Chain A
Amino acid sequence: MKHFVLTLLLLASPVLADSRMGAAPLANVQLTDVRQEQQAKALMETIRCLVCQGQSIADSDAEMAGDMRSLIRERIQKGERPEAIRTWLIQRYGDWVTYEPPLSVTTIFLWGLPVLLLMMGGGLAMGRIRRTSKR
């Protein structure tokens, strides 16, 4: 019975997972101001889709991603700064929603590691070069 219901769900959900509404006004329509559209696009590419986690809202076809794109374009059109919109989204969904994690105690390792590795590699290389040139 459980399997039967699961099979039914699998068959049914792709059909019913979407609403009967069309896309939000600015979900797939570019802004006429090129500079504003560039700002919006750059922001969308670094905002994570909530439904299809692992994609940015710029890449996702999910309805909610479309609604978020429209929201971002509308607010940028009104003159809001992209980073203010990012902050607004982080206030609601946490750092999870952004692909540009802000510097914090938990992400210090993430930001610091490349520098640390570069320094280690540099040190290693310097030691080698010194040793070979002495010979």
Chain B
Amino acid sequence: MRKVLLWLPLALFGLLLGVMGHGILHPEQTTIPSKLVGTKVPQFELPAAVPSHPALTSRDLASGKPVLLNIFASWCLPCIAEAPVLEELKAKGVTIHAIAIRDKPEDVARFLTEHGDPYANIGSDVSSRVQISFGSSGVPESFVINGKGIIRHQHIGDIQAQDIPKILKALEEAR
């Protein structure tokens, strides 16, 4: 018994090393999902990001049919990769609203001409205020919202071609 007790501190130290080693080899997950999935979208009213598209308010996200809300920015690289995929979703009949984060009208306009324009309304969120109220932690990010304005699904990062079926399914389920 005494001998076992003598080795106990070393064993505990070994355990601690093990825990630390595990933490180093398997870093914590880096995506922070929004806790608002399953609840109503936060109330907001954003001005138009470009003259060519209408502004965006939370009322536009409770229009009676499911929509995709895309949070993007002209200065965000993965958003460029995502643009053609969003156009494909639009071609399949999906209504896509957008919030442009920390963006100037001329930059958004240039992004739309250069990389494609799948958007219905685009709101401008210059200080990330609405983004934070959605529990979103970066660009690009997308939310599937049902006709009553309840968030049904969150996609973190750019929507890639292989994600299309998943997004369409989430939109179908939100019907």
Question: Which residues of A are at the interface with B, using a C-beta cutoff of 8 A?
Answer: 9, 12-13, 16-21, 24-25, 50-51, 53, 63-64, 67-68, 70-71, 89-94, 96-97
Contact = CB atoms under 8 A, between A and B. Distances in A.
A9 B134 contact: no
B35 A21 contact: no
Contact of A19 (B28, B33, B73): B73
A9 B36 CA distance: 32
B101 interface: yes
A13 B139 CA distance: 13
A61 to B, nearest CB: 15
A26 to B, nearest CB: 9
A24 B73 CA distance: 16
Contacts of A97: 32
Contacts of B103: 19, 21
B57 interface: no
Contacts of A92: 34-36, 132-135
Contact of B126 (A18, A21, A71, A93): A21
Given A92-B35, A93-B35, A94-B32, A67 B73 contact: no
Nearest to B75: A19
A33 B30 CA distance: 36
**Interface majority SS on A: helix, strand, loop or mixed?**
helix
Nearest to A94: B35
A93 B28 contact: no
**Interface majority SS on B: helix, strand, loop or mixed?**
loop
B128 A64 contact: yes
B102 interface: yes
8 contacts: A16-B75, A16-B76, A19-B102, A20-B107, A21-B104, A64-B138, A89-B132, A93-B35
Contacts of A68: 128, 132
A21 B103 CA distance: 7
Given A50-B32, A93-B35, A94-B35, A64 B137 contact: yes
Nearest to A90: B35
B135 A63 contact: no
Contact of A24 (B76, B127, B137): B127
A63 B135 CA distance: 16
Given A67-B129, A71-B129, A91-B35, A20 B135 contact: no
Contacts of B35: 90-94
